[in-house]
Amino acid sequence: MMAELFGKLDGCAKGKGGSMHLIDPSAGVMGTSAVVATSISEAVGYAFAIDYQENDQVVACFFGDGATGAGAFHESLNFASLKKLPILFICENNEYAIHSHLSERSSQQDLYKFGSVHNIPSYVQKDKCIFQLRSRCEQLIDEIRSGKGPRFIEVYTNRWLEHVGPNEDWHLGYRSEQEKSRWLKEDQVRILGEMLKTSERKDIEKQVKEELKKAILFAEKSPFPGKEDLYENVYR
C-alpha cells in the first residue's frame, strides 16, 4: 500500500492507481474508483456477486457525506434495497466536501434518512464511543447475514487536516479551529490508549512505528514503473 502511495512498481496497483485505487482482494479490499460516489456502485456489484454465491459474506461500503449528493448514491441504494443485497452502507459524515459545508449543498442534513427513503433500515451514530459503534455494526451485520437486506449507518467524525495533504487549512476561512478542538477532547484513539497500561500502550506504539518505517523504506527502495509498463494491466 505504501509503495502505491509513492507511485512505485511494487505498489498494489503497480504505481498506476495512487491513493484512490488501493486494492487487496486477498484481504477483502476490492478497490475503489477515483470518482468517490461510483465506488458505492462497485460495492453494490460485489454484494450482488456475493448474493449469487449464497455465502455469508457482507460488503462494508464506506463513503463520505459528499458522495451522497451524487446520483450513483441513490441508484445504488435503490438497487441494493430492491435485491435485498448483503451490504452495510457506512456514511462517514465530517460535514465537509472539500471546502463546502453540508448545509450549503444538501437540503437533507440527516443523511441516514436517505437510506430510509429506499426502505433500508437506517441509523445515526452521533455518540463518538467506538465500542457503541462496534456493537451497533455487529448487530446490523447479523441482520444482513440473516437475509434481511442492506442496512445504513451514518457516523459523525471530523477531518483534522486539509482535504488533501498534511497541512492545516484554517487560513482559508471556511471552518474554524474550534471545531477541531471540540473533537480532540473526544479523540477515540487517545481515549482507548488511556484504557491500557502505560507499558502496554508504549509497546503497541513502538510496534506500529516500526511497521510504518519498514513500509516507507520498502516504498522508497521500490522502482518507479518504466516505459515498458505503460500498457501493462490496462483494459483496452
Residue 10 lies in a domain: yes
Residue 236 lies in a domain: no
Locate 236 and state its grid cell: 483496452
How far apart (Å, rounded) are the C-alpha atoms in residues 3 and 13? 9
Residue 145 lies in a domain: yes
Q: What is the pTM of this model?
A: 0.92
Note the pLDDT of residue 147.
Answer: 95
Per-residue pLDDT of the chain in tens (236 residues, 90 and over written 9): 999 999 999 999 999 888 888 889 898 998 888 788 999 999 999 999 999 999 999 999 999 999 999 999 999 999 999 999 999 999 999 999 999 999 999 999 999 999 999 999 999 998 889 999 999 999 999 999 999 999 999 999 999 899 888 898 988 999 988 888 888 889 999 999 999 999 999 999 999 999 999 999 999 999 999 998 888 877 77
Residue 103 DSSP label: G
Query: Where in the sequence is the domain holding 79, given as residue range(s)?
Result: 2-229
Q: Where are the alpha helices (DSSP H) in 118-186?
A: 130-143, 177-184
Residue 92 lies in a domain: yes
Spatial contact of 120 and 84, defined as CB atoms under 8 Å apart = no
Could you tell me the CATH number of the domain that includes residue 90?
Answer: 3.40.50.970
Residue 234 lies in a domain: no
Residue 235 lies in a domain: no
Residue 130 lies in a domain: yes
How far apart (Å, rounded) are the C-alpha atoms in residues 88 and 140? 8
Tell me how many domains the chain contains: 1
Residue 147 lies in a domain: yes
How far apart (Å, rounded) are the C-alpha atoms in residues 151 and 133? 14
